[in-house]
Amino acid sequence: MGTMGRALYSVGFWIRETGQALDRLGCRLQGKNHFREQLSRHRTLMNVFDKAPSVDKQAFVAPSASITGDVHVGRGSSIWYGCVLRGDANSITVGAGTNIQDNSLVHVAKSNLSGKVLPTVIGDNVTIGHSAVLHGCTVEDEAYIGTSATVLDGAHVEKQAMVASGALVRQNTRIPSGEVWGGNPARFLRKVTEEERAFFSSSAVDYSNLAQVHAAENTKNLDETDFKKLLHKKNSRDAEYDSQLNDLALSENVPKAA
């Protein structure tokens, strides 16, 4: 990026920052009534009426995720790209060290056959796979919800239980601790193995560590990103050059490059 390009980028950046700051100030001055506006802008965190999200400072929320209303996200948890957590009719609680992976949906139950208004409660160190749907249910600590699984109103997944990928857990189903359930509708398949129990814990830790990397990348400005790209290209060229020298050394029986 040339000098003129950098100057235009900087001016544009500060205009956008000033606009966003003014928008936030305007929302504060409007108080609880700012939601009445029909114009919708994407916000990672958004109030609904008087309900505001609460996200721990050590949690990671991807820029394209949406957390709306009465939602609490605990320390070290990660909400990945494209996720929606909508706590409008009731609350959503996500414990510490839990990962909710890309494109998953977490909502609450406002109306169902039992007539109950149910929150969604997710414990500590839970792994929720890509594109899963959790609706008005409870998932205890260190449970595992597989990719594209659906857990419906009033269902209760106990500690270290596993819902297999693609499974449908019907309303008011209880999955006991240490059991694997799968299918549509979900039913008992077998007991959780010791290897799987260890994986539940390691998966939570791995995603927590990976979230820190993504959080750091998302805070970088354009200059840092451009410098990293240039450094990567240089290192790639150096590695290619060394490889060519080594190939030449092999063919001519000369010492290898250091």
Digit-coded pLDDT (tens) for 173-213? 999 999 999 999 999 999 999 999 999 989 999 999 999 99
Domain map of the chain by residue range?
43-195
Most confident region among 48-62, 142-156, 218-232 by mean pLDDT: 142-156
pLDDT at residue 238 greater than cutoff 80? no
pLDDT at residue 256 greater than cutoff 50? no
pLDDT at 217: 83
What is the overall mean pLDDT for the chain? Answer: 85
pLDDT at 82: 95
Low-confidence winner among 167-171, 180-184, 243-247 (lowest mean pLDDT):
243-247
The pairing of strands 99-100 and 127-128 is: parallel
> Is CATH 3.60.60.10 correct for 43-195?
no
Digit-coded pLDDT (tens) for 81-121? 999 999 988 999 999 999 999 999 999 977 655 667 789 99
